């Protein structure tokens, strides 16, 4: 008997992106014609109906792979690669346009805050509802009930309608239900990022336990460190297609290489970005101190210059530095300096961050950049720039590169 629990063959999902019509009014004959087209499509669903105001977009296309029982699979890729669409199809939230999907066993999904919950029902009622959806008997749910409530730590709000829950409370209960009702396959998207750090660790520990019990896990996360710890297999998506299917370390290495390749492109031409888009990141320059040298060194000053396309009210910039293994090292955010720092001045074309002493050990790094305006994300790019940090000195002592001991060197003294 085969131990394959998920088999996907030539899977595709197509959406029609609508475009605003330029006509100032719609004639009665157009309304009648559109109604007849709709009726025709119901009678013959395979009939091709042309849509002059729509554009085809394939979120995923020609995707094929197999997952065996007990596999812990991390699905990674750029923003817009098709990760969430794939998980929604696997969770039967949306139907594929082409291809076949075969799943053996019960699937529990945690994709978006509130998915699978009825807002008018209480937490208690939703636990029983989700269990019934998974095909469990009332006795089986009752046997796990106390364990679910204890894990979620929501005893006081158990008989409150979930529409009154905060997003964090939603996630606590949703994960507790999904992980404890003994699914054969557990599907988890980035939604865990909503919870606090303590609860995230608790969830990851539970996912490890689920994996050790021989159940299958599909996990989407931008935190490559967690993904490598939890998963033994990786699938890399790019523009809706699978470009790697192997061990986690192999897949993550290829993904990081893809990120570096993206950083070498013209930033304005990149499509793997998210945000409102009223202003966009156009260029990133990195210098060592004020001599405009592009060579960074440990212990030396560094200047980061972020160029944007359009000035926006209350514009701010944040960027995170990641090491060569995809682990976040540190974050800088201009928002708090907008009101606190007297030297801070908004420039319509660029935002500058000066670091007096770069405390990164020698090595290769990348930065993700986010531009916000009036509290809204306008642009976000992964691997907006690649940094090469050379050996330098801190307090007169040389700093040697050694990835075994982390990426940051903290000045200190011995007595």
| pLDDT tens figures, 239-253 | 899 999 999 989 998
Report whether CATH 3.40.190.10 matches the domain 4-21+52-257. Answer: no
- Assess whether pLDDT exceeds 50 at residue 170: yes
- Assess whether pLDDT exceeds 70 at residue 345: no
Q: Confirm if 204 and 225 have CB atoms less than 8 A apart.
A: no
- Assess whether pLDDT exceeds 70 at residue 40: no
Q: What three-state secondary structure class fits 324?
A: coil
Convert the pLDDT of each residue in 195-229 to its tens digit: 677 887 888 888 888 888 888 999 988 778 888 88
Average pLDDT, the chain: 83
Return the bridge partners of 220, or none. Answer: 75
**Confidence at residue 236, expressed as pLDDT on a 0 to 100 scale:** 94
- Assess whether pLDDT exceeds 50 at residue 319: yes
Q: Which of 52-61, 140-149, 191-200 has the highest mean pLDDT?
A: 140-149
Domain with CATH 2.70.50.60 in the chain: 271-405
Phi and psi for 331 in degrees, rounded to 5? -130, 145
Domain with CATH 3.40.50.300 in the chain: 4-21+52-257
- Assess whether pLDDT exceeds 60 at residue 338: no
What average pLDDT does range 388-409 have in this prediction?
80
Percent of the chain with pLDDT over 90: 34
> What is the C-alpha to C-alpha distance for residues 267 and 261, in angstroms, rounded to an integer?
12
Q: Residue 2: which residues within 8 A CB-CB, separation 6 or more?
A: none
- Assess whether pLDDT exceeds 80 at residue 374: yes
> What is the C-alpha to C-alpha distance for residues 63 and 40, in angstroms, rounded to an integer?
31
Q: Confirm if 338 and 296 have CB atoms less than 8 A apart.
A: no
Which among 347, 332, 258 is positioned nearest to 79, based on CA atoms?
A: 258
Phi and psi for 359 in degrees, rounded to 5? -100, 20
**In 264-409, which residue ranges form alpha helices assigned H by DSSP?**
337-340
Convert the pLDDT of each residue in 79-118 to its tens digit: 788 898 998 898 888 899 999 999 998 888 877 666 678 8
Q: Lowest-confidence range among 180-194, 276-290, 307-321, 322-336?
A: 180-194
- Assess whether pLDDT exceeds 80 at residue 400: no
**Confidence at residue 41, expressed as pLDDT on a 0 to 100 scale:** 52
Q: pTM of the predicted model, to two decimals?
A: 0.73
**Confidence at residue 310, expressed as pLDDT on a 0 to 100 scale:** 86
Class of domain 271-405: mainly beta
**Confidence at residue 72, expressed as pLDDT on a 0 to 100 scale:** 92
**Confidence at residue 191, expressed as pLDDT on a 0 to 100 scale:** 66
């Amino acid at each position: 008997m085969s131990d394959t629990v998920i088999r996907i063959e030539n899977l595709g999902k197509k959406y029609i992106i609508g475009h605003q019509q330029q006509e100032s009014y719609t004639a009665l004959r157009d309304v009648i014609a559109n109604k007849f087209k709709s009726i025709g499509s119901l009678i013959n669903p395979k009939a091709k109906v042309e849509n002059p105001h729509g554009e085809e977009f394939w979120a995923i296309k020609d995707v094929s792979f197999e997952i065996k029982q007990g596999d812990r699979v991390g699905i990674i890729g750029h923003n817009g690669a098709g990760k969430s669409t794939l998980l929604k199809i696997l969770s039967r939230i949306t139907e594929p346009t082409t291809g076949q999907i075969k799943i053996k066993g019960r699937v529990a999904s945690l994709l978006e805050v509130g998915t699978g919950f009825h807002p008018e029902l209480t937490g208690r009622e939703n636990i029983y509802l989700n269990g019934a959806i998974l095909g469990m008997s009332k006795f089986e749910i009752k046997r796990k009930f106390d364990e679910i409530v204890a894990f979620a730590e929501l005893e006081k709000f158990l008989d409150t309608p979930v529409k009154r829950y905060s997003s964090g409370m939603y996630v606590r209960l949703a994960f507790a239900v999904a992980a404890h009702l003994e699914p054969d396959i557990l599907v988890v998207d980035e939604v865990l990022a909503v919870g606090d750090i303590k609860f995230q660790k608790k969830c990851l520990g539970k996912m490890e336990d689920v994996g050790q019990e021989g159940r299958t896990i599909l996990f989407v996360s931008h935190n490559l460190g967690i993904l490598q710890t939890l998963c033994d297999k990786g699938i890399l998506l790019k523009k809706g297609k699978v470009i790697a299917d192997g061990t986690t370390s192999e897949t993550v290495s290829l993904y990081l290489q893809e990120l570096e390749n993206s950083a070498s492109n013209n930033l304005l031409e990149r499509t793997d970005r998210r945000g409102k888009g009223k202003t966009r990141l156009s260029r990133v320059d990195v210098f060592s101190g004020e001599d405009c040298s592009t060579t960074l060194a440990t212990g030396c000053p560094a200047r980061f210059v972020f160029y944007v396309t359009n000035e926006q009210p209350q514009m701010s910039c944040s960027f995170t530095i990641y090491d060569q293994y995809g682990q976040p090292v540190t974050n800088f955010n201009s928002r708090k300096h907008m009101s606190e720092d007297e030297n801070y001045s908004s420039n319509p074309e660029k935002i500058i961050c000066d670091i007096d002493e770069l405390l990164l050990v020698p090595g290769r790094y990348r930065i993700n950049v986010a531009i916000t305006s009036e509290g809204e994300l306008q642009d976000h790019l992964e691997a907006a720039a690649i940094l090469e940090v050379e050996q330098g000195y801190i307090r007169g002592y040389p700093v040697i590169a050694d990835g075994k001991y982390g990426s940051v060197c903290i000045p200190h003294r011995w007595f």
